């Protein structure tokens, strides 16, 4: 009898020790604390094939998860030590999560997942949720309209390349193929020019530089103007001539959140990169933008066909070029 009691006591002690050893929370490398029961969100896959830090059980083995679950809600049901370090001061943890829409159980190396953007660290905070993306076809129509440029075969072919890649290849290879659709696409482009909506707010995502945190002003200085004399916001092949003289050059961020931002952006690197990305909100102007005079360069020839006048009404700054999460700050 004593032996049975002793055995039961030993089992209870081991069980209590196991329960006590289970982790109910983890502080990830950016300082955020996650707990069992919290709901996190998956980010984009790093490639078309699979996630690298989100796994699923396949038989007896964990495999890279291939389904696209971007922005899906994941409930944390267990936190385990991954038996390796993320940095010298941070241990990697593996979260067991349940994808809420399907109930599927997944496993996430949380620090690596946040670093690579496979788990969202900070959702986007939109200044203008209803803003429209200024796509390449809209940019083409807008540039031709405001600069009073003719619609030539070159522009029509470019529009075809944006709308139908296979048709574009046929048109390039056979002039009769192009001639058969030329009127249709010329009309489409002219309609886009004539009916462009100048009342709406649009956005583009573009690279910028971000400086060190300014403790006297509580925020980050940013720069997105490549040529201060011209004052253009360069976007691909286009240039926005901004009407404001004092550009948005500072993003207010609290010191508490700035500390989190710095840790997140540094990750395992020895430095914090100056590269960041902005979502720029613009209201295009229905008029020809003025170009500065120059005795050295023909400014009209260099810039007219790419120039768009616009009011810059806001900037959001993010870690990743898609500007859909890992928010840093904004200003308008």
Does residue 4 lie within any of the structural domains?
A: no
Q: Could you tell me if 165 and 83 lie in one domain?
A: no
Does residue 166 lie within any of the structural domains?
A: yes
Does residue 175 lie within any of the structural domains?
A: yes
Q: Could you tell me if 176 and 289 lie in one domain?
A: yes
- Contacts with 184 (C-beta within 8 Å, 6 or more apart), sequence order: none
Does residue 74 lie within any of the structural domains?
A: yes
Q: Could you tell me if 311 and 187 lie in one domain?
A: yes
- Contacts with 146 (C-beta within 8 Å, 6 or more apart), sequence order: 284, 285, 286, 287, 288, 289, 307, 308, 309
Q: Could you tell me if 92 and 206 lie in one domain?
A: no
Beta pairing, strands 250-252 & 232-235: unpaired
Choosing from 116, 145, 175, the residue where a domain stops is 116
Nearest residue to 78 via CA among 100, 92, 60, 94? 94
Q: Using CB atoms within 10 A of its CB, is residue 6 exposed (0-12), middle (13-18) or buried (19+)? A: exposed
Write down the pLDDT at residue 263: 96
Nearest residue to 202 via CA among 276, 307, 311? 311
- Give me the tens of pLDDT residue by residue for the chain, a chain 332 residues long: 455 554 544 444 444 444 434 689 999 999 999 999 999 999 999 999 999 999 999 999 999 999 999 999 999 999 999 999 999 889 999 999 999 999 999 999 999 999 999 999 999 999 999 999 999 999 999 999 999 999 999 999 999 999 999 999 999 999 999 999 999 999 999 999 999 999 999 999 999 999 999 999 999 999 998 777 788 999 999 999 998 767 779 999 999 999 999 999 999 999 999 999 999 999 999 999 988 787 777 888 888 999 999 999 999 999 999 999 999 999 99
Write down the pLDDT at residue 290: 87
Q: Residue written as tokens 């295009």?
A: 284
Beta pairing, strands 132-133 & 219-223: unpaired
Q: Could you tell me if 164 and 191 lie in one domain?
A: yes
Q: Could you tell me if 94 and 143 lie in one domain?
A: no
Write down the pLDDT at residue 56: 96
Report the 10 Å Cβ neighbour count for 114: 26
How far, in Å, CA of 142 to CA of 148, rounded? 10
- Contacts with 244 (C-beta within 8 Å, 6 or more apart), sequence order: 311, 312
Q: Could you tell me if 231 and 159 lie in one domain?
A: yes
How far, in Å, CA of 99 to CA of 79, rounded? 15
* Number of domains comprising the chain: 2
Write down the pLDDT at residue 302: 86
Does residue 129 lie within any of the structural domains?
A: yes
Choosing from 116, 132, 162, the residue where a domain stops is 116
Q: Could you tell me if 110 and 130 lie in one domain?
A: no
Does residue 3 lie within any of the structural domains?
A: no
Q: Could you tell me if 211 and 314 lie in one domain?
A: yes
Write down the pLDDT at residue 112: 97
Q: Could you tell me if 79 and 219 lie in one domain?
A: no
How far, in Å, CA of 29 to CA of 86, rounded? 8
How far, in Å, CA of 191 to CA of 281, rounded? 24
265 secondary structure, DSSP code: H
Write down the pLDDT at residue 181: 98
Q: Could you tell me if 146 and 198 lie in one domain?
A: yes
Range of the domain at 298: 122-332
What's the start-to-end Cα distance of the chain, in Å?
77
Does residue 172 lie within any of the structural domains?
A: yes
Choosing from 116, 137, 165, the residue where a domain stops is 116
How far, in Å, CA of 241 to CA of 290, rounded? 8
C-beta separation of 305 from 225 below 8 A: no
Q: Could you tell me if 94 and 132 lie in one domain?
A: no
Does residue 1 lie within any of the structural domains?
A: no
């Amino acid at each position: 009898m004593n032996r049975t009691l002793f055995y039961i006591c030993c089992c209870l002690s081991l069980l209590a020790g196991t329960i006590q050893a289970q982790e109910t929370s983890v502080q990830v490398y950016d300082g955020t604390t996650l707990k069992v029961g919290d709901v996190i969100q998956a980010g984009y896959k790093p490639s078309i094939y699979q996630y690298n830090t989100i796994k699923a059980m396949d038989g007896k083995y964990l495999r890279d998860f291939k389904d696209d679950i971007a922005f899906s809600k994941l409930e944390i049901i267990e936190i385990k030590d991954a038996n390796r370090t993320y940095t010298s001061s941070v241990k990697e943890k593996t979260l067991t999560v349940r994808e809420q829409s399907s109930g599927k159980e997944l496993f996430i190396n949380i620090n690596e997942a946040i670093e690579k953007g496979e788990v969202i660290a900070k959702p986007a905070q939109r200044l203008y949720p209803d803003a429209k993306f200024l796509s390449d076809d809209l940019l083409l129509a807008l540039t031709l309209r405001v600069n009073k440029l003719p619609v030539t075969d070159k522009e029509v072919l470019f529009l075809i390349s944006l709308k139908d890649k296979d048709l574009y290849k046929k048109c390039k290879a056979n002039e009769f193929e192009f001639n058969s659709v030329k009127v249709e696409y010329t009309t489409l482009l002219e309609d886009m020019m004539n009916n462009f909506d100048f009342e709406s707010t649009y956005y583009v995502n573009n690279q910028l530089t971000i400086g060190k945190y300014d403790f006297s002003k509580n925020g980050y200085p940013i720069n997105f103007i490549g040529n201060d004399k011209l004052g253009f916001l360069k976007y691909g092949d286009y240039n926005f001539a901004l009407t404001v003289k004092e550009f948005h050059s500072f993003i207010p961020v609290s010191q508490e959140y700035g500390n989190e931002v710095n840790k997140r952006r540094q990750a395992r690197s020895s430095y914090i990169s100056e590269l960041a990305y902005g979502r720029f909100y613009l209201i295009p102007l229905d008029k020809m933008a003025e170009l500065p005079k120059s005795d050295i360069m023909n400014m009209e020839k260099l810039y007219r066909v790419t120039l768009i006048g616009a009011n810059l009404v806001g900037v959001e700054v993010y870690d990743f070029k898609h500007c859909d999460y890992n928010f840093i700050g904004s200003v308008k």
